[in-house]
Structure formats: C-alpha cells, structure tokens
Chains A and B, each alone.
Chain A
Amino acid sequence: MSISKITDTSQNHDELYSSLSQNLKIIKNALGNSDDLIIREITVGKAEKFAFAIIYVDGLTDKISISESVIDKLMLEIEASQETETDKIIPYLRDSCLTVGDVNDIFSFSTLYNSILNGDTVILLDESSTGIVTSTKGAKDRAVMEPSTESVIRGPRESFTETLRTNTALIRRKIKSPNLWIKSRIVGEVTKTDVAVMYLNDIANDKIVAEVLSRLDRINIDGILEGGYIEDFIQDSKFSIFPTVYNSERPDVIAGEILDGKIAILVDGSPFVLIVPALFTSFLQSAEDYYQHWMISSLVRILRFFGISLALVAPSLYVAITTFHQEMLPTPMLISVASQREGVPFPAVVEALIMEVAFEVLREAGLRMPRTIGPAVSIVGTLVIGQAAVEAGIVSAVMVIIVALTAICSFLFPAYGLSNTVRALRFPLMILASIVGLFGVMLGLMIIILHMCSIRTFGVPYLSPFGPLILQDQKDALVLFPRRALLTRPRLISKKNTVRGHKYFNTKKRNQSNM
C-alpha cells in the first residue's frame, strides 16, 4: 500500500502519537474539520479510567454495527473489566471484546485515513500509539437490478452494481471454485479506488495475469471513476479505434469469459466489469447465443457479421456506385434511383454526409436528453430526417433508406464499443468513396483489416481465430457448434488447460477406442 501524501502536508510525522488529544487534533486538521467526520470520545473503566476515541465517517459506515458491536462492547466490557494496564487494553479489545468480523491494529495516520475513508471505524486509546480498526463498511449502495444495456430474452436477470464487493460476490456465486482467485490493487493517488482482478488460477494464462497486474501497478493517475479509465491505461494499442477490452454488466457473461480463461477487472464504483484479452469476435457475440439452440445462434451470428459489414460500408457503397459506377446497377434500378435524385441539389457524398451527421446528432441528442423529452426528439428527428427532407427535395428517398439501414444495422451489435468504432469509420470510408469510388472503399477496408490484423490484445492476435486461422476455435466464432462439440477453450487464451469437461472428453476417447 502506497504511503499517502496527504499526511505529509499536515504533519511529516506519520506514526500515531501516544497522546489522544494530539492525535485527534491532527486528524481533525487533516480532514479540514469536515462535519461528516464523527469523533466520539468516551471515558470508561472500573479500576482505571481509560479515554477512548471512536472515529468514523458518517454515511460510509453501518451505524447499527458501530453502536452494537463497537460502542456497546466498549462501554460495557471495558466498564466491567478489571484491567488497569493501558498496554493490555488494545490486545484485549482486539481479541476478546469487539464483535466485528475484521479487526486490525494500526500504527500510522495514513492507514487511519485510508480506513475511515473506506468506511471502517478506528478506535484510539489515550497513552497508546496503537489504534484498532474495525470493519464497519456500510455505505448506501444500489440493489442488484436487471441489466439496462444488455438485455436478453432468455437468461439471468441480474446485473452488476457500483459496489465492488457485491460484484465479486455475484461472480463467485456463478463459479464456486477455490481456483477463482482475486488479486486486489488500489489505483488512483487521490481516489484510492479498489480494483480487483479475477481469474481462474488453473485456467488463465499466468503470463497474461502477471501482465495485467503489472499494467495496473503502472497506472499513475489521481483518480479512477470508471472502468473506462483503466481500459485506456491497460489496452495495447492506444491509438487504435477498435476496442481491445471487453466490458459487460452481466455476471453470466463475465463468468463465461472467466471460464474461457480470460481475466476480469472489477473497478469499485462501476457496474461494468472489464475483460481482457478481448477478441474481435467477442464483440459480436451475445450471452444469449449460448442459451438458445446453436443453429439459431449461428444464424444470428452470421446476421451480425452481415450487419456490421453493412453498417460500415452501406453509405460509402451508395456514394461510390451512384457517382462512379452507375453501370453496376441494373437498369430499372438505375432509372428509379436517378428519378429520385432528380432535383436534389447536392452531390451524393454531401447528401450522405448530411444525413449521416443528422442521424448521429439525433442519436446523441436522444441519448443525453432527460427521459421525458426523449420521445419529442425522436418525433422531430423522424419528421425532419425522414419525411420533410425528402419532400423538400434536399435528400433523396434512397438516401434515407440507406441511412436507416445503416442505423438499424449498427444497433445489431451486442457490444456498444464496436458499434461506436463502426460509426466513426463510416465517415472516412464515405470520403474515400467520393474521391475514388469503389476503389477507395476497398482501399479503406484493406487498411482497416490490415490494422485489425496488427492489433494484439495482451499478446493474443485480435482477429483470432480468423487471423491466424485456428480451425478448432471456429466452433465458437462465426458460427456456434452444439455444446457437445465445445470441448476445448480458445487455444490462444488459455494455453495450459484447454479441455472443458473431463467427462465428455473421456467418453469421446472411449468411443473412439471402441471403434
């Protein structure tokens, strides 16, 4: 645990003093007399009067446990005890008096601050330079609710909350294995945010675990408020527009990924849990794929791949074909498109850009608006973008169809991160298409694919199992094989333990030998 700089400003001396009043003065100074800091001074004892101070931050603590397990015990037990020596009071309190789960000694101010700011309660005793910290965390937190960003028709209905401990518990409830390990780190000089790394020790690649931990340790920032901060710090290619860290608010998704040998990173204060290494295919897979019939899932996955292609290139193809390669269209279609383009004042590329930007603006506006105004935005949007613009002759009806198609296709992604990438890449492709036509579109796509091939996420090629082609991992990529066939884990991720269940594997072997 790093030594805080806050104490250095108030006092260079980090050790607790033996004088209670001096300690309390320093603490009050350090916290600037904030009124949520509660210091309760009591004097108890039968044979000898001892002066105690109970220190906690109001709102972060569980008041019932403070009153029942700390103050209550202190007042009654010490009052009744015959102890006279100050030195023995602390061990006595710790070992046989306080009825709280987690009790520790503290010797320094920095630990004291960390403890009370995390919701623990500190007990200081006059004439003793040792304090006691008791775990009384009890800040208000949100209940486990239905996931709001990743809804499924069939599947668990719970999602992560903002509390780290709840989140780890949600995962533990899914994977009841002693091999599910948690490594904790505290990140952020000022915020001191708890970050937990969860993985299956016998499956996850040790090198990747070590790499994740070392990257977390290297983070040097004052505050972490969301997993996005961590994501930005630990991802391999900082300038790539493609997401290389997957996130989900669904415990079942995260548990599934952990079972694949991936590593989960939980950040206190965020209901989104990060997963590394994240491959391109995981952004096109939904939790529900695994809960329904594999054939349906396979069809849906193919549909998604088709959708991403369309969302990426539909507007640029329209621009390229209508301005450069009119001969590619069937004649009746050309005439029909041409008749709609009659009287449109802009070149196709300007038309496409106007409509795409208008759509993005509407989408963004609808997203940030208070819920009550949301419908109004969409009504204005549909009227302006759809009907009025066509009737006024500013854009052609085909363009509206293209934009709508693109928009719907971009909503097809199970993961929001990739959807944003495709949104952004659409525009350069449109510009390329308007300059050199289909050739430009192909060039753009080549650059994109080459770039994707070059990305590594924690040492794993981003496009695997397509590039490099791993035949045995195709069972859970573009299509999904029946569960019986999913015997092995992704090869590049969990290198040391790639067989999923021993029972199935053994039956298969036995059958083979019988034959």
Chain B
Amino acid sequence: MSKFKAICLLMILSLLLSGCWSKRELNELAIVAALGIDKVDNEFKITVQVVIPGEISSRQPSSGRSPVITYHSTGATVFEAIRKMTTVTARKLYFAHLQIVVLGNKLAEEGINESLDLISRDHEFRNDFEVIVAHEATADEVLNVLTPIEKVPANKLLNSLKTSEKTWGTTESIKIDDLINTINNKTTSVVISAIEIEGNKSVGMEQTNVKRSKSPVLLKYKGLAAFKKGKLIGILTENESKSLSFIRDKIQSTVEIIACPKGDTLATEITHSKTKIKGKFEHGAPKIEVLIDVNQNVGEVLCEIDLTKEKSIHLINKKTEELIKKRIDETIRSVQQNYRVDIFGFGEELHRTNPKEWKKIKKDWLTIFQELQVKVDVHVNTQGVGTMENSLVSKTKGE
C-alpha cells in the first residue's frame, strides 16, 4: 500500500512540473502568420499578419472580407511593441504558427541583431519559421499585400521561397535558428532571401488586388541579400544568387541557357548538382578549389543541333561547364570586390583543412578573401534529351 501511495504522490508531484499550464481555447487565439519588423525613428515598428479563420475556411462562402488583418505598433523593444499591440488586437496573439518573419529594408541596413533576440528567446515562437528581408520596402508594406491563390500572404511568401529554392536556385530559405547561429560568424557572412513589391504598393492592400486575374501588385523574390555583421550590404543579382547557390551546394534543380554552335540557344535542366570545396595552403597562402559535379537533361532546344550525335552532347556538356564556371568566376570576383565578405564559406573550409595555418590568417581573413585565388572546376554530364530527339527547328531547316 505504501508503494501505491508513493506512486500516487510521484504522479501528483509531477503535475507541478508540467510546462503547459495555460489553457487557451481555439477561438481565443489570434493566429499570427507573419511578423514584420521595421525601424522607424529609432523605434521598432512591429507588423503582424493575423489570420481570420472564418475567411479562410472553405466551408463558408467568402464574404468578401480580407482573409488576414495586419496590426501595427511601435516600441523601444520588439517585446514592448508586441505587448502593446494587445490594445488594438481583438485576441491574444499566438505566435506558435508563425510562418515567416520579414525584416524591413531600413532595419536590415542598420542591423538586425537586436530585433531577433525576442523571437529566438521567447518560448512561444517555434524556431522553425523562415526569415526574409524586404528590398526597397518596409516589412509593413510587404505584409499588407494581399495575394491570390494562397489566401494567407504569409503562406505565399513561404511557398514561393521554397519552390524557387527547389527549382530555380536564386533564393535560399534560412530558419531563425540557423540565422542566429551564423549572423555573428566572423568568417562566413549570412545571406537572406530578399523580397520586393512589384507594382503600386498602396494598391496591394486592397481586396481588388486578388479580384482580378492579373494582380496589379505582386510579391517577388529578388535574390539573396548579403549581410556583414548583421547589416545589409547589398543584394546579389539573379546570376550571382544562382552562383552562390552552386558554390554553397544548395542547387536542387535549375535551368541553364547555352548558345548553340550555329546560333540560337538551348536550355538544359540541372537535375542534380554536387559541390565540393577544397582548401589548401601553399607557402602560407590560402587557395580554394571548387569542384562542381552537375547532371542535366536537355530541356528545350531552340536551335539546329543533332542530338543523336555524341559530339553534340559533348558540346552541350562543355558549353554548360563554361557557362557555369564563367558565371561563378564573375560572381566570386564581384563579391570579392564589391561586398568584401565571405558569403561562400571558404574561410570555414580553410579552417577545417588546416587549423594551424588558419589561425595565422584568421585575423586578416576578410582582407585576404578579397585577393583569394579560387579555382572553379565544373563537370557536366548530360543524361537525357527528353521525350523527343531532334528539335522541330532542325527538322524545318533540314527540309
């Protein structure tokens, strides 16, 4: 019997250890889908995008009201601003289902470090949401744009980010955890995908934006934004973003356009890409070798080329190799000259290969990086030509 009592006591005591006391009914929650942080006059301006469940549900016919609502408030800290928001929100904000955090352009330029503390410290945030930065816009403006198909704009932001990362390669999703871990890394700089508003910003928040088949205002990912010590220093172009993805081994699939020998172009679909970075020290001078192994299929042929010949395939391989290599070379040079931050992770690699030598150059790494010799070697293998062999172009010209 005493054993039974002891077990009972243990169970009752363990109730006190429970971390989930606070009970909240579903209809007492304001589900926050996206959070925007801006800097206005040295204060943080917080924007939250709250889902209105009744408008999203497919069961009820749409009443024509907006499916989301955005609330704003300002405060000296993010925490203060969020708590202050309860004066305008109908319910308590619930951040566990936060999908995406948008950082305003101005905030990014001035430094994002302070603004991220709360969202990684607070237990209610789930640490699995993405972070993006607004390009030439405030986070507030980005979150005010209504989007078609995905009723919740936060979902559209998230889905576009993931889809373009998978099939195009110019964006890169970064979760808050990874961001916090890498943002203050002195060797490798962090990159965050940048979003821009295409069209008239004030029209975007109107319901009309989703009522036409051609939305006047769209949210579009521009490329990757490079940061230095938590401050935005510039946005890479599309080509640079793609090259960066190649070097960082983040390419899952993308498209390359190469020139045919007899003029016109041919598009290939990259189906697999594997990148290896090798670092070495030659008499104390660091050197980097980037080896990229690419598998591709012929995607679209707009020129006259006989795909049944092995020679043509070799040619395509060579052309693609040259194209990728040239672009990567240019990107590395551009980053070395314009941004002067190591966003590629070369420093990390050198550290791994030779920690002793690395220690010597660690202090001056960013200076050395600008002059770093990088040898890029691309190997391309064309595996398939699609469901037809020779293109319609070559057939018409052949006759």
Chain A interface (Cβ < 8 Å from any Cβ of B)? 322-327, 331, 334-344, 347-348, 397, 434, 436-439, 443, 446-447, 450
Contact = CB atoms under 8 A, between A and B. Distances in A.
Contacts of A436: 15, 18, 20-21
B26 A326 contact: yes
B96 A326 contact: yes
Contacts of A325: 20
Interface string B32-75: 01000000000000000001011011111000000000000000
Interface string B90-105: 0000101101000000
A338 B60 contact: no
Given A324-B20, A338-B53, A339-B54, A348 B97 contact: no
B54 A324 contact: no
Contacts of A446: 11
Interface residues of B, number: 31
Given A338-B53, A339-B57, A436-B18, A327 B23 contact: no
A331 B99 contact: yes
A149 B94 CA distance: 50
Contacts of A434: 23
Given A335-B31, A335-B53, A341 B26 contact: yes
Nearest to A396: B26
7 closest Cβ pairs, A-B complex = A339-B57, A339-B53, A327-B96, A338-B53, A341-B26, A338-B26, A341-B27
Given A335-B53, A348-B25, 19 more contacts: A323-B25, A326-B94, A326-B97, A331-B97, A331-B99, A331-B155, A334-B31, A335-B51, A336-B53, A339-B56, A339-B57, A340-B59, A341-B53, A342-B27, A347-B25, A436-B18, A437-B18, A439-B20, A447-B11
A326 B51 CA distance: 15
B29 interface: yes
B24 A339 contact: no
20 contacts: A322-B26, A323-B25, A324-B23, A324-B24, A326-B26, A326-B29, A331-B33, A331-B97, A331-B99, A331-B155, A335-B51, A335-B56, A338-B26, A338-B53, A341-B53, A343-B27, A397-B59, A436-B20, A437-B18, A447-B11
A339 B21 CA distance: 24
Contacts of A331: 31, 33, 97, 99, 155
A398 to B, nearest CB: 10
A437 B20 contact: yes
Most chain A CB within a 10 A radius of its CB, from B20, B26, B58:
B26
Secondary structure class of chain A's binding surface, majority of residues: helix
Given A324-B23, A331-B99, A439-B20, A338 B31 contact: yes
A153 B364 CA distance: 83
A13 B159 CA distance: 98
A323 B23 contact: yes
B118 to A, nearest CB: 17
Nearest to A322: B26
Nearest to B126: A327
A335 B23 contact: no
Contact of A337 (B26, B51, B54, B155): B26
Most chain A CB within a 10 A radius of its CB, from B15, B53, B56, B152:
B53
Nearest to B15: A436
Contacts of A339: 53-54, 56-57, 59-60
Nearest to A439: B18
Contacts of B33: 331
B26 A348 contact: yes
A497 B7 CA distance: 39
Contacts of B31: 331, 334-335, 338
B177 to A, nearest CB: 16
A303 to B, nearest CB: 30
Interface in B78-137: 94, 96-97, 99, 126
A337 B56 CA distance: 11
B11 A336 contact: no
Contacts of B15: 436, 439, 443
B20 A335 contact: no
Given A325-B20, A326-B96, A341 B57 contact: no
Contacts of B152: 335
A331 B33 CA distance: 9
A235 to B, nearest CB: 21
A12 B99 CA distance: 92
A344 B94 contact: no
Contact of B27 (A327, A335, A344): A344
Nearest to A447: B11
B65 to A, nearest CB: 13
A326 B24 contact: yes
Contacts of B24: 323-324, 326
B385 to A, nearest CB: 40
A327 B97 contact: yes
Given A323-B24, A327-B96, A331-B97, A338 B11 contact: no
A391 to B, nearest CB: 12
Contacts of A447: 11
A439 B14 CA distance: 10
A437 B20 CA distance: 7
A202 to B, nearest CB: 40
A362 B115 CA distance: 57
Contacts of B29: 326, 338
A231 B227 CA distance: 77
Contacts of B11: 443, 446-447
A438 B26 contact: no
Nearest to A329: B97
Contacts of A336: 53, 56-58
B112 to A, nearest CB: 25
A175 B25 CA distance: 60
Nearest to B125: A327
A331 to B, nearest CB: 5
Nearest to B56: A335
Nearest to B124: A327
Contacts of A326: 24, 26, 29, 94, 96-97
